Amino acid sequence: MKEANDQKSEIKSPPKWEMTFLDRWVDRGGRWFSYLILISCFTIVYEVIARYVFGAPTIWSHEVTTLLCAISFAYGGSYCLARNSHIRIVILYDLVSLKVRRYLDIFNTFVGLIWACTLVYAAFTLVEKSWFTPWGEFRMETSASAWDPPFPAWTKAFLMFALTIMAFQFLLQLIKTLRQK
């Protein structure tokens, strides 16, 4: 009877999520990136007032808002990974023992690492194309609007940076999971 109770308690109490040093760094940075969403909201409000109250629309507000939101969302993937708050289906996960959960965690983290590394490579090709011409000359991709800032090139570079951080997070989580008993 005692073994059955021990097994039930083993199933009900998963190991506590422990952040790596990189996860803690990403978690602290999350507050700063959340301010970008707030700044984009103020930018939109400014544009609406300038356009409809004063009849003087801006040429920059849409592109600034797009850049700030894109950077925030790109960072959000690493932030969710750091806090272990990504969406998952736990119906089967909750039914298995801690030993099986560990194997599932190893598999999940390994697949996440492969996924992130693949996306880093894809993002690198996008950055290369958006920062250099086909003949190798440095020229950043621009938005082709009236203001024409190089925000598309910056956004792609930041996406590659965020995906690289995520790949390292997956690697550190895989190492941590493999070391757990």
Within a domain: 71: yes
pLDDT band with cut points at 50, 70 and 90 for residue 84: confident
> What is the arithmetic mean of pLDDT over 32-37?
94
Question: Would the pLDDT of 48 be above 50?
Answer: yes
- Is residue 3 domain-resident? no
In a domain, 120, yes or no: yes
Domain range for residue 150?
A: 19-179
Structurally, the chain folds into a number of domains equal to 1
In a domain, 9, yes or no: no
**Which pLDDT score, from 0 to 100, does residue 1 have?**
52
- Amino acid 3: pLDDT: 54
127 assigned to some structural domain: yes
Q: Is residue 51 helix, strand or coil? A: helix
Tens of pLDDT, residue by residue over 132-143, are 999 999 999 999
Residue 113 lies in a domain: yes
| Neighbouring residues of 47: CB distance < 8 A, sequence distance ≥ 6 | 57, 58, 61, 62, 65
Has residue 11 been placed in a domain?
Answer: no
Contact 41, 34 (CB under 8 A): no
Residue 166 lies in a domain: yes
**pLDDT of 21:** 93
Confidence of residue 11 (pLDDT cuts 50, 70, 90): very low
Q: What is the pTM of this model?
A: 0.85
More confident: 1 or 40: 40
What average pLDDT does this structure show over 60-72?
A: 96
